[in-house]
Amino acid sequence: MNRLLQTLLARPDVWQASSPRTATATGDALPSGHAALDRVLHRGGWPRAALTEVLSGNCGIGEMQLLAPALAHCSRGSRRLFFVCPPYLPYAPALLAQDVALERLLVVRAERDVDTLWCTEQILRSGAAACLLAWLPESRLGDYRALRRLQLAAQGSASLAFLFRPPQAAHSLSPAALRIVLRGTREHLALEILKQRGGQAGQQLTLARANALLQPRIDPALLPVVGPDLSGQMHCPDKSGPTAERMPCPAEAGPTVSRASAALH
């Protein structure tokens, strides 16, 4: 066989249909913690050093349920967990119940859409993240160039990188290695594999939701309205760029929460 062709086929991002799907012995995937999902994911888990897109029409339908095992595993190391521009303040008690070390979690907020992308890229390039979750703005729905930059940044790291995007993003091109459509009810999560590099797509499965993440929610309208310096949220000024905050422990969160602190389940 031609030496150049042999070199090409040896690349980790090139898959041959005649080759069997291998497990995670190479360390390029992390088991999701959901056996049914791992059976359909290429290499048996979430891809490392690559983007994973979660496409969902609503927030709080079970995305934290899906990622909780990976977050717990990643929080045990020396690197950090990053939540970039989550729509709500993450629900600390539920994360703690899933063995996520809250002291390893940083929430990053930005005023402008371009800052969200910049933060995500810089965090991936820094090597400081064991796992990154970023909620991308809808204004960048078809920005393939920006997504490509994020994919290249992810390739240079050993991080798990999850991007949350609206379902209409499914009609746009994306360099992400894995794309999953997520739909949820109170008791179940329905997943569809829209794309996965090196593996099959189109599989659909249903996962049961754990009781720890099914606690009744408080109506945000009933929560006290407090100032931004007490809410645990830090918004960056227009000219000072993005800021980061440590995830508060349940005791720190206390009653001083704002309307924006509805749980991310």
Domain CATH for 161:
3.40.50.300
In DSSP notation, 178-245 reads EEEEEEE-SSEEEEEEEEETTS----EEEEEPPGGG-PPPPPGGGSPP--TTTTT--PPPTTT--EEE
Determine the structural domain holding residue 56 and report its residue range. 27-261
Quick check: is 3 in a domain? no
Amino acid at the residue 58: N
Residue 210 has a pLDDT of 66
| Residue 128, pLDDT score | 95
Q: What is the pLDDT of residue 69?
A: 94
Tokens of residue 79, six digits: 């690197």
- Please report whether residue 226 resides in a domain: yes
Task: Decide if 131 contacts 71 (C-beta within 8 A).
Answer: yes
pLDDT at 20: 44
In order along its 265 residues, the chain shows pLDDT tens digits of: 677 776 666 654 555 555 544 433 335 899 999 999 999 999 899 999 999 999 998 887 888 889 999 999 999 999 999 999 999 888 899 899 999 999 999 999 998 888 999 999 999 999 999 999 999 988 777 789 999 999 999 998 889 999 999 999 999 899 999 999 999 877 889 999 999 998 889 999 999 876 544 444 445 554 444 433 333 333 333 434 565 655 544 434 333 333 333 334 4
CB crowding 40-69: b at 16 or more within 10 Å, else e: bbbbbbbbbbbbbbbbbeeebbbbbbbbbb
Q: What is the structure's pLDDT at 96?
A: 92
The reply to whether the predicted model has a pTM over 0.75 is: no
Query: Does 16 reside within a domain?
Result: no
Q: Dihedral angle at the C-alpha atoms of 208, 210, 213, 217, nearest 10 degrees?
A: 70
pLDDT digits (tens, 9 = 90+) for 119-136: 999 999 999 999 999 999
Q: Which residues pair with 55 in a beta bridge?
A: 165, 181
The per-residue pLDDT for 31 is 95
Q: List residues bridging with 131 in a β-sheet.
A: 81, 160
Q: What is the largest CA-CA distance in the chain?
A: 70
- The answer as to whether 2 is a domain residue is no
Beta bridge partners of 29: 47
pLDDT attached to residue 22: 41
How many structural domains does the chain have? 1
| Residue 59 belongs to a domain | yes
7 found inside a domain:
no
Q: What is the DSSP letter of 259?
A: G
Strand 80-84 and strand 105-109: pairing? parallel
pLDDT for res 14: 57
CA distance 135 to 55: 10
DSSP state for residue 155 in the 8-state scheme: H
Amino acid 208: pLDDT: 85
In a domain, 45, yes or no: yes
One DSSP character per residue, 33-77 reads S-HHHHHHSGGGSEESSEEEEEE-SSSSSSHHHHHHHHHHHHTTS
Q: Is residue 13 part of a domain?
A: no
What are 180-231's pLDDT values in tens digits?
999 987 788 999 999 999 888 999 999 987 654 444 444 555 444 443 333 3
Q: Are 94 and 220 in contact (CB under 8 A)?
A: no
Please state, in angstroms and rounded to a whole number, the distance separating the CA atoms of residues 63 and 60.
Answer: 7
